[in-house]
Amino acid sequence: MKKRRERIDRGIKARSEDVYALSSWREMLYLAGPRLLPAAAFLLLPLFLGAYWQKVMISVAVFALLAISWDMLAQTGMISLGQALFFGMGAYVSGILNFYFGMPPWIAIPIATVLGGALCTLILTPVLRLRGIYFSMVTLIIPLMLVRIIEATKIFGGTEGLSGMTPLPSTLTEIYLVTGVLLGVLFGLRRLMETDYGLVLKGIRDNDRSVTNAGIDIFWFKTQALFISSTIGAFAGALMTHVYMFVGMPVFALDYSILPMAAAVVGGSGTLAGAALGAVILVPLSEALRGIGGLRIVMYGLFLVVFTVAVPEGLFDYIQRRYHQMERWVEIDQ
Amino acid sequence: MSLPTTLRVENISKIFGRVAAVDHLSCEVRRGELVGIIGPNGSGKTTLVNLISGFVKPTSGRILYNGQDITYTAPHKIVCMGISRTFQMVRPFYHLPAYKNMIIPLYSPRVRQLAGGRYGDRNAVALDLLEEVGFERDANVAYKPAGTLPQGYLKRLELAKAIALSPELLILDELFSGMSLAEVASVVPVIEKLRLAGKTIIMIEHRLKELFRIADRIMVLNYGQKIADGASTEVMESDEVKKAYLGSEG
Ligand SMILES: Nc1ncnc2c1ncn2[C@@H]1O[C@H](COP(=O)(O)OP(=O)(O)OP(=O)(O)O)[C@@H](O)[C@H]1O
Ligand SMILES: [Mg+2]
């Protein structure tokens, strides 16, 4: 019996017109695996983790959401240097609703998600017409400005912030809420970006003149993308207010702007899944490096440089390509 | 001729720094006409197209479309009013298959409106339109990434994108440049069919022979000004036109 090597996706590709005609459970697994595996990991892992790593996991999911939110904007041609704005806005709105109006988290978080997203969109629409670096600069500066405003006017607790927020019932609730939203957002947005609507958004990034020439108002579509993106970031912030039981100026810190962008770049921007993957790598890494003190930033920087040089297309694309190239032995009859 | 005026350009100027790209130019195009615009390089033809389609706003003057002032209307709204144009420099989405490049125009509010909300399968419409402009269906050219297609196909993709918007006024900026003779010959019937359907067409061209064969009227631009306007034979007889062409090429 002779054998030759063949790519696993070969037969599948040939039948890609009707994906339903999969012939074996193996092929089914080959196709569904990449989706099921991370989902299963996210859902089962929390049960085996200690309290500390459970918190890290929440952090991973939060940064993954911020990274996805960054990538969504980037795919529409807007490079944000200020994801902290989305995060901080959601955090403060939820905190205010809880602190001043006594709303429980399960009401405050959804309202803060939508309202926070809307506020961010409102703040940024005047600069949507700016291109490239100008948009980025404004997004970088606004969160820093908000911090100074809170400091100077002493509103919402000023430098002290607001504490004593209502927590969620348990750490597991927190984890499952945030990972559930993460998986929903990830798969939902990936699908959205494959639709004709997503094509228009990506078209704005590649050649906005051509999209305008199709009679489409790019300003309106950018506004929509901005709203989707800032809503995701605002959710992450709103959740953390109730995890920390505190909201204050640190929610507008630069970390929330830089780390998501680094995650998206390491994982590979333009795929959304890469952004999440980047967060899964970078967040635990920065936790582990916490022990080595001052050198942490150096190590972190080195890691980023090595990564972007070694895998410039991003980790996700690399893994995906390798996965599709996987081969198997098939029998050939003579 | 009592046909209504589709486009009326009144005394329009566009000054870039110190260059008057378009200089106090007036013209009219009537419904159903096919008007050719020619002129030496840098004479302001593309700038005029940019002014009409709203991508560039004039220094002075007005533009009326079906009697309505569109001088300061946003370009995407002008498209939805029924003016669509092609670009001289085509810049498709190189990584996307040719037919996927058609999706964005087919997503246009104008297409939805004309279809009454029922626009069906955009991919199928895209493939039909591409076949119309000469993408052979059995050769699967429409499925190839736009980046791999020769210039002649990209130009025709540009035409198909403009046609997808069902314009009343179609402006083609040097569509024939970069096309082979055979490709031009295959596109001419497409343009003639659009005319029969009552479309108004403006064609900027450097390929005069092919243009004169189909145009009703020719306008000649030089240094942003209109120096001649009339039937192709009489326009080419004008001394000023001869001088402009010899001056720029000699
Ligand atoms: N955006 C711009 N900024 C500055 N100058 C411009 C701009 N666009 C055009 N010009 C100038 O305006 C003049 C007319 O250019 P235009 O592109 O309209 O000419 P054209 O007739 O289309 O030429 P061609 O036959 O080469 O396409 C040129 O001198 C050009 O340099
Ligand atoms: Mg030109």
Contact (CB<8Å) A216/B55? no
Contact (CB<8Å) B87/A203? no
Check if the beta carbon of residue A281 is closer than 8 Å to that of residue A266.
Answer: yes
CATH number, span A51-294 = 1.10.3470
**Closest partner residue to B107 among A206, A209, A216, by Cβ?**
A216
- Express each pLDDT in A252-274 by its tens digit: 988 899 899 989 988 988 999 99
The yes-or-no verdict on residue B250 having pLDDT over 50 is: no
Average pLDDT for residues B112-122, to the nearest whole number? 79
Under DSSP, the state recorded for B74 is -
Q: How confident is the model at residue A17 (pLDDT cuts 50, 70, 90)?
A: very low
**Closest partner residue to B122 among A196, A209, A214, by Cβ?**
A196
- Using a pLDDT cut of 90, give the percent of chain A over it: 58
Burial class (CB in 10 A: 0-12, 13-18, 19+), B208: middle
- Express each pLDDT in A275-290 by its tens digit: 999 999 999 988 888 7
Residue found under tokens 């709204």: B77
Domains of chain B in start order, with CATH, are 1-82+167-250 (3.40.50.300), 88-166 (no CATH)
Distance linking the first and last C-alpha atoms of chain B:
39
- Closest residue by Cα to atom 3, ligand 1, is B16
Domain residue spans in chain A?
51-294
- Tell which atom from ligand 1 comes closest to the C-alpha of B17: 4
List helix spans (H) across B67-207. 75-81, 98-101, 103-106, 109-114, 122-132, 151-164, 181-196
- Tell which atom from ligand 1 comes closest to the C-alpha of B47: 18
- Using a pLDDT cut of 70, give the percent of chain A over it: 90
Contact (CB<8Å) A203/B105? no
Please tell me the distance between residue B189's alpha carbon and the centre of ligand 1 in angstroms. Answer: 30
Q: Note the pLDDT of residue A308.
A: 80
Gyration radius of chain B over CA positions: 18
Pick from B84, B85, B104, B125 the residue to mutate for testing the A interface (most A CBs within 10 Å). Answer: B104
- Express each pLDDT in A188-215 by its tens digit: 999 999 999 999 999 999 999 999 999 9
For chain B, give me the number of helices (H) and strands (E)? 11, 10
- Closest residue by Cα to atom 17, ligand 1, is B46
Q: Note the pLDDT of residue A320.
A: 82
- Express each pLDDT in B5-23 by its tens digit: 999 999 999 999 999 999 9
Residue found under tokens 């899964």: A280
